[in-house]
Amino acid sequence: MADLEYRPGLADVPVAESGISFIDGKRARLEYRGIAVETLAQESTFEETAWLLLKGELPNQRDLAVFDHNLRHHRRLKFRIIDLIKCLPESGHPMDALQAGVAASGMFYPGREVSNPEKNWESVVRLIAKLPTIIAAFHRLRQGNLPIEPRDDLSHAANFYYMLFEEEPSPSISRLLDACLILHAEHTMNASTFSGRVTASTLANPYTVVSSAIGTLTGPLHGGANEEVLDMLEEIGSVVKAKSWLEEAVESKKKIMGFGHRVYKVKDPRATVLQDLAENMFVETGKPEIYKLAVEIEKAALPILGPRGIYPNVDFYSGIIYQSLGISRDLFTPIFAIARVAGWLAHWLEQLKNNRIFRPEQIYIGKMDRPYLPLQNRP
């Protein structure tokens, strides 16, 4: 055992062979099944991208129509799930409500037998379809309003917006949200995906797999960073303070939220696309102060953090977009989950194809061969 090398955070340790997505962290390249994420954000829809991730190929017209139809058909929640969500504290975080809702849903669709591909596909469709409804229902209920029934005539992204605001989004907002979902749908072996794969490797049911992954996504070092970016920008307060705040933060070894990545040593390509989307959105409305401040922070960070390979990641600009759409801050990470469930499930199916239970090693650093002292003899 002495010859085992310990790599904190499993850095650079492959834990699976995967054909789902690829990152080149030096060239700012992210591909889903070989297709650049920028192209997908521009050309595709979330529904089509989800199919690509799950099946490995872009769907033909018929496959996409059936998949889209099935997603729309499965958006509704069992009334008992709504009742369960009603019982959750309104001050609780929507990610916790989502995790509880997903885990509880598994009891209605037991599917403990994961060797049946048809049943597995039904679970995939149900999970992708229902996550937005669970989040929107919790959000409405905590505001004292009744949940809004999903609408079958709207796309995945547009329907989510509708269930939050009881208002159809404009085509440009719908497209913007759709692009955000595409950009967040998959990202190789990140913490939540790994967590889901570990759970999958025990042959647990897919609802449990996804609820494990949701729990892992909540943390501020992972999906939770998008909320913290906004808190940080508000704390800085104004564009004029950007440079001095950043210098002081770096000096005091404070982590800049929305910056840094285990794999990217250049600006995250998703951050670049999100920033372009934000710029486009602000052409009509004018740039909000918070966006100007974020740009200023990025500029100030470039000469200090850039040489250390620390650049904006996906979370740096996403929250600014969601906030501009009037979306509550604590829904930013749930939106990440609505998208990432496609990637998690693609990894679940991939794990099942060639499964071996995860059982890594540890390096024991504790005491050994100690005598047992009876209670009355202990000091």
Residues marked as catalytic:
261, 315
Q: Does 256 bind ligand CMC (CB under 6 A)?
A: yes
Yes or no: say if 35 and 22 are a contact pair by the CB < 8 Å rule.
Answer: no
Chosen residue from 259, 291, 311, 348 binding ligand CMC by CB under 6 A: 259
For residues 373 and 370, give the distance between their C-alpha atoms in angstroms, rounded to a whole number. Answer: 9
Region 299-338 residues binding ligand CMC, contact defined as CB under 6 A: 310, 313-315
Region 155-194 residues binding ligand CMC, contact defined as CB under 6 A: 190
Query: From the CB of 128, what's the least distance to ligand CMC, in Å?
Result: 19
- β-bridge partners, 32: 21, 35
- Sequence length of the chain is 379
The span of 122-130, 250-258, 291-299, 351-359 binding ligand CMC (CB under 6 A) equals 250-258
Chosen residue from 132, 196, 206, 260 binding ligand CMC by CB under 6 A: 260
How far from chain centre, in Å, is Cα 77?
22
The span of 96-104, 159-167, 257-265, 354-362 binding ligand CMC (CB under 6 A) equals 257-265
Angle at 299 between CA 298 and CA 303, to 5 degrees: 105
Output the six-digit token pair for 266: 């250049």
Query: From the CB of 212, what's the least distance to ligand CMC, in Å?
Result: 16
- β-bridge partners, 312: 259
Query: From the CB of 258, what's the least distance to ligand CMC, in Å?
Result: 5
Residues 6+ apart with CB under 8 A from 349: 54, 120, 124
Strand spans (E) along the chain: 21-24, 29-32, 35-36
Region 81-140 residues binding ligand CMC, contact defined as CB under 6 A: none
Q: Does 257 bind ligand CMC (CB under 6 A)?
A: yes
- β-bridge partners, 35: 32
Query: From the CB of 223, what's the least distance to ligand CMC, in Å?
Result: 5
- Nearest Cα neighbor of 143 from 117, 165, 171 is 165
Yes or no: say if 267 and 311 are a contact pair by the CB < 8 Å rule.
Answer: yes
Return the amino acid letter for 117: P
Looking at beta carbons only, is 80 or 308 nearer to ligand CMC? Answer: 308
The span of 45-53, 104-112, 255-263, 351-359 binding ligand CMC (CB under 6 A) equals 255-263
- Total of chain residues touching ligand CMC, rule CB under 6 A: 18
Looking at beta carbons only, is 31 or 315 nearer to ligand CMC? Answer: 315
For residues 215 and 196, give the distance between their C-alpha atoms in angstroms, rounded to a whole number. Answer: 10
Q: Does 215 bind ligand CMC (CB under 6 A)?
A: no
Looking at beta carbons only, is 162 or 264 nearer to ligand CMC? Answer: 264
Return the amino acid letter for 5: E
- Residue whose beta carbon is closest to ligand CMC: 260
Instruction: Name the residues that contact ligand CMC, by CB under 6 A.
Output: 9, 190, 221-223, 225, 255-262, 310, 313-315
